[in-house]
Structure 1
């Protein structure tokens, strides 16, 4: 490996890949009237209801301000409700009935995006990539 071969920069390649994947998921999420980021927030709240802003930001590896902006929009759409957290520190969130229905209707679009990526990479590379990304997220 050439010591200064910038084409092998993990950061540069990870960002390019993340932008390409995000654009693909966003194109499909727009069909449901949301962004891929908003979909991720809805899915995280469904998997972990009553979590605080800090918990969700950590789970999603998302800046708190970005998360709060997304949640506020989802609340205005009636998809998420907030309440004071049980620990009394900040807010916690849960999906409304409308949010549950909305997420269920959006799932086929997510499945399609996942399937597109799997078809692009092939099954073996898809699962290898997921495992590598999970390891990188622990860096």
Structure 2
């Protein structure tokens, strides 16, 4: 029996991830950021005194990749950092400029979400989110 590579989860997940990322990036560029930077800004806004390691875990991102992303956001004046209360890491906060930019970006994120929901339909959209959450546990 020959393998049907058109059913490869890895290949199809990567194709879908690239297409979705391109769509979100197109919208995020309207406010001068990438979709990845948007995700990091949202994670920082939602953080409750999380250190770099905690943020990296929550974003499923390599710690060094996150540090590079945050350093860029700090240089742009969107994020500030401070030593954590235990002194063994850093905590991050959005600057006023970062908060303003995120407020401008959220309607674009909503548009991207709605675009995906329109393609899939509401039921399939929710099933897809649940499936992706399950797959992220591998």
Coarse TM-score class (shorter-chain normalised): over 0.9
Partners of 1:30 and 1:111 in 2: how far apart?
15
Question: Which deviates further from its counterpart, 46-55 or 23-32?
Answer: 46-55
Post-superposition shift, 1:87?
Answer: 2.0
What pairs up with 1:88-107 in 2 under 5 angstroms? 88-107=87-106
How many equivalent residue pairs?
A: 138
Matching residue of 2:20: 21
Partners of 2:41 and 2:25 in 1: how far apart?
14
Post-superposition shift, 1:6?
Answer: 1.1
Secondary structure at the counterpart of residue 85 of structure 2 = coil
Secondary structure at the counterpart of residue 80 of structure 2 = strand
Post-superposition shift, 1:3?
Answer: 6.5
Secondary structure at the counterpart of residue 68 of structure 2 = helix
Partners of 1:84 and 1:106 in 2: how far apart?
28
Spell out structure 1 runs of 4+ moving beyond 2 A. Answer: none
Question: Which deviates further from its counterpart, 64-73 or 29-38?
Answer: 64-73
Question: Which deviates further from its counterpart, 82-91 or 114-123?
Answer: 82-91
Matching residue of 1:30: 29
Q: TM-score, normalised by structure 1?
A: 0.94
CA distances 1:93-120 after superposition (whole Å, capped 9, x unpaired):
1111111111111111100100110011
What pairs up with 1:52-131 in 2 under 5 angstroms? 52-131=51-130
Secondary structure at the counterpart of residue 50 of structure 2 = coil
Matching residue of 1:132: 131
* Structure 1 residues not aligned, in runs of 5+: none
CA RMSD of aligned residues (A): 1.2
Matching residue of 1:46: 45
Secondary structure at the counterpart of residue 31 of structure 1 = helix
Partners of 2:2 and 2:130 in 1: how far apart?
26
Q: Is the 8 A contact 1:49 1:93 kept in 2?
A: no
